[in-house]
Amino acid sequence: MKNIIGYFLSLCLLPFCLTNCDDMNSLHQKYIDQGETIYIGRVDSVMAFPGNERVKLTWMNNSDPRIARTVIYWNNNTDSTEVNINRTQSGIMELEHIFNIPEGAYELNVVNKDIDGNRSLSASKSVLIFGPKYISTLNNRSMKKFVFDYDILTIDWGNVESELIQYTTISFTDYSDPENPIRNTVRVENSDVQTVIPNLRADDQFLVSTTILPEGSIDRMDALPQEYTLVPVFHEPEDPVSDYPYMWVVNVDDDPDKYLLGYYQYMERTSAYTYFTKFYAPANNTRVAFVPQQSLTGDYIGISPLTGNIINKKGTVLPLVLPQQGYYEIAIDLENKTYGISNYTPSTPAYTGLIYIVGDYFGWDDNYPMTPINHFLQTAEYSITSSSLSYYYYKTENWGNIYRARHLPGSNDYHASPSTYCGVLSGGNPVDEDRKIGITFQGAGNYTFTFDKETLWTTISTKH
């Protein structure tokens, strides 16, 4: 009886066994079809040390002799670099690799591979790479103050506020040899509280940049340089007054290189220390200075930033500002260190017609007229084909009044000079030899002549 029951049970379970056995075989079959998976030794002890758009990675490989290379992936495994493994001895190998990588935060995945491409399990390491954005946030070491006095720069430093600061560098132009200035640097240690640098020049710039070593970084990084201008300490001179025989006024906004004649406007000397002139300001806020030596590289008389008086201290004076375009009467008193300016509207001159340029080069006819700008200013541009000496005057129609060039009393210089100025002579002989002014034109070219009947001043400039 038991055998009969067993037989019928076997018939009932046969379809179930056949179905489920097929499913179990299919589960195993895909692994059988893939073949055997081969894993090689995995990297261990991965460390990442960031730098300036680069990183140093260190790791350890075990003694597995099949390891042929280590591959490092980032950006979701779209970028990679690899290191070939040349085993020279058995056992654990300590390895490192430095490679470039843009600034940013990364997850580095590191795997080993054999010569057939079989790979190890992955090891990962997070790292934050430095770069331009990080550098832009760095601060230079602070200064308490800096003083530039008599060509010497003195810097008093603030405290070093971060342990990451390594040192600070100052870059400047060194005038130890004035004829051959060189670019130089000074390294300032964190322990330095003061730095003194000689042989500098006013209005030059010096740069300060602090070097930082971020925690864990393989690279030092320099903060963006901070620029400073060398402004001299102001010393009011004890005796700023000199008995100058001549004095000129000059527009310091203008370009002296374009002038052949008339950049410096002569001032009449009215007493031992006082001078006076009429001056035309071509624009609002025209800046002028007073020059006793016809050179802005020499004595330079301007306004003291401390007292507002005029003084002759080169490099530390401010220009005198003429606030409005137009004509001014300007007076200076060197003895009392004072000045006066007065803006005025001149009366219309009696003669408002054309003025002509005449002389040995131009001839004595009305062939070279000037064009009026207004009642006072006339201008002309003519091509000069020779660089020979030429006398010139300005004349009106019918020689009614002679606007003519003349030189300073006592001057024997008949060539182009800042001392030359323009005067007016009513009547008289226009060919008066002792009143001629010789001008040597600087080669052939186009020259612009401008004559001002109010200030009795002329300028001759050349286009560059």
pLDDT, tens digit, 9 for 90 and up, residues 57-116: 999 999 899 999 999 999 999 999 999 998 878 889 999 999 999 999 999 999 999 999
More confident residue, 38 or 255: 255
Sequence-separated (6 or more) residues with CB below 8 Å from residue 248: 264, 265, 266, 267, 290, 291, 292, 294, 418
d(CA 327, CA 279): 6
| CB 438, CB 387: distance < 8 Å | no
Residues 44-68, mean pLDDT to the nearest whole number: 95
Task: Place 245 in a pLDDT band, splitting at 50, 70 and 90.
Answer: confident
Torsion of CA 427, 428, 430, 434, to 10 degrees: -140
Element (H, E) at 107: strand 104-113
* Three-class SS state of 40: coil
Q: Which fold has domain 355-462?
A: Immunoglobulin-like (2.60.40)
More confident residue, 53 or 316: 53
Sequence-separated (6 or more) residues with CB below 8 Å from residue 212: 138, 162, 164, 165, 166, 220, 221, 222, 223
What amino acid is encoded at 405 in this protein?
A
Q: Does the structure show a pLDDT above 60 at 399?
A: no
Query: Model's pTM, two decimal places?
Result: 0.53
Joined together, the tokens standing for residue 261 give 């004649």
Secondary-structure class of domain 138-229 per CATH = mainly beta
More confident residue, 5 or 313: 313
Q: Does the structure show a pLDDT above 60 at 269?
A: yes
Task: Place 406 in a pLDDT band, splitting at 50, 70 and 90.
Answer: very low
- How are beta strands 226-229 and 205-212 bridged, if at all? antiparallel
Q: Which fold has domain 248-344?
A: Immunoglobulin-like (2.60.40)
Q: Does the structure show a pLDDT above 70 at 294?
A: no
Mean pLDDT of the chain: 81
* Three-class SS state of 240: coil
d(CA 22, CA 197): 92
The segment(s) of the chain belonging to CATH 2.60.40.10 are 44-131, 138-229
Q: Does the structure show a pLDDT above 80 at 296?
A: no
The whole-number pLDDT of residue 412 equals 32
State what percent of residues in the chain have pLDDT above 70: 75
Other C-beta atoms lying within 10 Å of the C-beta of residue 336: 12
Residues 187-207, mean pLDDT to the nearest whole number: 95
* Three-class SS state of 281: strand
Q: Which fold has domain 44-131?
A: Immunoglobulin-like (2.60.40)
The whole-number pLDDT of residue 414 equals 28
d(CA 382, CA 450): 11
Sequence-separated (6 or more) residues with CB below 8 Å from residue 359: 390, 391, 392, 393
d(CA 228, CA 204): 8
